[in-house]
């Protein structure tokens, strides 16, 4: 009977050690994986937002001449025919 009790205690101690300090499936490792998962979820959300913004910009450029004209004016400094360009220096 003593042997069975000692065996059960040894098995329980082994399982507790593996649970708290083991390399595979320990609580410490699970916390690390959860932390990494949260970081990856945040990164995915940021990338989804970026993709939505880029998609909206592409659709705007594809469908409207105003957006294309605005971009040409802002980025390339282009003006329409018959317009006069004034630069205000402060």
The first and second tokens of residue 62, run together, are 């594809």
pLDDT, residue 64, reads: 77
Q: The whole model's pTM is what? A: 0.52
Q: What is the pLDDT of residues 22-59, one digit of tens each?
A: 777 788 888 889 999 999 999 999 999 999 999 988 88
Mean pLDDT of the chain: 86
Residue 18 CA to residue 14 CA, distance in Å, equals 6
Residue 13 CA to residue 7 CA, distance in Å, equals 10
pLDDT, residue 6, reads: 93
Average pLDDT for residues 9-34, to the nearest whole number? Answer: 85
**Who contacts 72 (Cβ-Cβ below 8 Å, separation ≥6)?**
78
């Amino acid at each position: 009977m003593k042997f069975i009790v000692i065996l059960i205690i040894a098995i329980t101690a082994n399982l507790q050690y593996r649970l708290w300090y083991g390399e595979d499936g320990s609580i410490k490792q699970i916390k690390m994986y959860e932390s990494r998962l949260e970081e990856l979820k945040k990164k995915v959300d940021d990338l989804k937002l970026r993709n939505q913004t880029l998609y909206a910009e592409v659709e705007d450029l594809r469908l409207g001449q105003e957006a294309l004209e605005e971009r040409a004016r802002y980025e390339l400094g282009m003006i329409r025919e018959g317009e006069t360009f004034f630069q205000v220096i402060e």
